[in-house]
Chain A
Amino acid sequence: MSIIKLEDTDLVFRVWRERRLKDIIVPGSNKFNKFQNAKVHALDHINLTIGEGERVSIIGHNGAGKSTLLKVIAGIYKPTGGKMTIEGNISNMFELSTGFEVEQNGWDNMYLRGLMLGLSPKEIKSKMREIADFSELGDFLNMPVKYYSSGMFVRLAFSTSTAIMPDILLLDEVFAAGDAGFIDKATRRMKELVNVAKIMVIVTHSMETAVDICNRCIWLDRGKIRMDGDPKEVTRAYLEYIK
């Protein structure tokens, strides 16, 4: 049984202004920088339950807290308030082309990423062939990843993150860099994954993806859930709002 349950979950970032000695010694040298030590309310008392079989897309304008929400669910950020219950093993894929050992080749990075997603060395080794096939990277896997294009990073990361058959899959803007062929293939895989009763949460700016892949859509606005429901209705309301 996999579940994501957020009860009154709150996340407040503290942002520190860069301070230099000059700012202290020379009064007024900083008059163009009005930015003071501030608090950013990234997630504002979120209540949300996602159960098995749900494919949720999160939409909203930049800075609405979409990626932050995923990172909180993934356990990368700890909420500053409220309660959070996550059951099931998580696989995620966030920012592209970070989290790679650039000097190492594709195989080594696949291995390392597998370990970081919670597999044992044995498990990841047995899956490497399959991951390589799905990624269609072929001989590029023998090349240090510093020569990879962003599309190739997507292929490698996506193939690894989805091959481990997670209970919960979290994806952030995956398709921004993949080519059409791979997006098709990845979309199919994402649908397959949910067929085995797992949870998927994706952050996207593409309304087509939200409607095509997902059966639930959440519109986040300044850290709050503004609308939650059928992807068609939510995306329509969102598009009307931003017009």
Chain B
Amino acid sequence: MTKSFFGGIWHDRYILTSFVNRDLQAKYRRSLLGVLWSIITPLALSVIIGTVYALLFNQDIKVFIPMLFAGLTPWTFFTGCAEGGNTSFIYAEGYLKQLSVNPQIFPLRTVCVAFINLLYGIMAFYVVFLVLQPQAFGPEMLMVIPGLVIMFFFCWGMAQFASVANLYVRDYQPLQSLALQALFYITPIIYRPAQLGENFAFIYQFNPLYYIIDVVKQPLLGNMLPVEHYLIAIAIALAMFAIGCAMVNKCRWQINFKL
């Protein structure tokens, strides 16, 4: 089962890369700035939200903007995968129903496109960070690489979960949108975990997304994370990935009937 799952992806690797290329090109078709938007959007967003919050809550802009940016970038990747996963199979109906292409490449396509946009976002982050806090740069930042790998598998699992769930019950998509909104506020992105205080610490301590986001966010900011934190994140990511793969595998031959 595992062999046919990954073998199928390998078999259709050219189709996958071709789709990813197309999606990236199509995103900025007829746009003057093109791919620069992938950098400008998170940059401008962080400056806008950062300035407002910094003024409202008397935060230091130099600290607050990077913190927000470092959290928002992986968060956008996660929501992009979860939202895009909903329609991965639905948009591929034309291919799935008439060519014998392996369906598991379509959620992966969504994840790859979002991941490349995440890399652009990280580039934009470093530009801002270099201006605001050049002293924070150091070799610890390399830990962002394992963090990205962990996050990739988590989000891939999530995209697969959403793609199958939404195929069976179309109510899943609006439900997930709501859940994501709620998750955004209970995950420390626009605030620091410490701001929740002792009594509300459980809100992030039992939130899997906190660990997943943090393995990317903290290295971006030049902070080291304890090993336990990585172990928890890896366990969560593997569990999500396994669930996602199992779901796609299980309904492999139902997809065409459900579309």
Taking Cβ atoms with an 8 Å cutoff, the residues of A that contact B are: 13-14, 74-78, 90, 92-95, 98-101, 103-104, 108, 111-113, 115-117, 120-121
Contacts and interface: CB of A to CB of B under 8 A. Distances in A.
A101 B95 CA distance: 10
A76 B22 CA distance: 24
Given A78-B253, A103-B26, A103-B29, A95 B98 contact: yes
Nearest first, the 5 closest Cβ-Cβ pairs linking A and B are A98-B94, A99-B94, A94-B98, A75-B100, A78-B253
Contact of A115 (B15, B94, B96, B98): B15
Interface of B: 14-15, 18-19, 22, 26, 29, 93-101, 253, 256-257
Nearest to A99: B94
B94 A94 contact: no
Given A94-B97, A98-B93, A116-B95, A76 B18 contact: no
A98 B18 CA distance: 18
Given A76-B256, A92-B100, A99-B95, 16 more contacts: A14-B257, A75-B100, A77-B257, A78-B253, A92-B99, A93-B98, A94-B97, A95-B97, A98-B93, A98-B94, A99-B97, A99-B98, A101-B22, A111-B18, A112-B15, A112-B18
| Secondary structure class of chain B's binding surface, majority of residues | helix
A116 B97 contact: no
Contacts of A13: 257
Contacts of A74: 100
Given A111-B18, A121-B14, A116 B256 contact: no
A99 B95 CA distance: 5
A101 B257 CA distance: 22
Contacts of A104: 22
A234 B221 CA distance: 75
A76 B98 contact: yes
B257 A116 contact: no
B15 A116 contact: yes
Contacts of B93: 98
B22 A108 contact: yes
Given A101-B22, A112-B18, A117 B99 contact: yes
Interface centre among A13, A75, A76 (most CB of B within 10 A): A76
B99 A99 contact: yes
A169 to B, nearest CB: 14
A115 B20 CA distance: 14
Nearest to B92: A99
22 contacts: A74-B100, A76-B96, A76-B100, A77-B256, A77-B257, A92-B98, A92-B99, A94-B97, A94-B98, A98-B93, A98-B94, A98-B97, A98-B98, A99-B95, A103-B26, A104-B22, A112-B15, A115-B14, A115-B15, A115-B18, A116-B99, A120-B14
Nearest to A79: B253
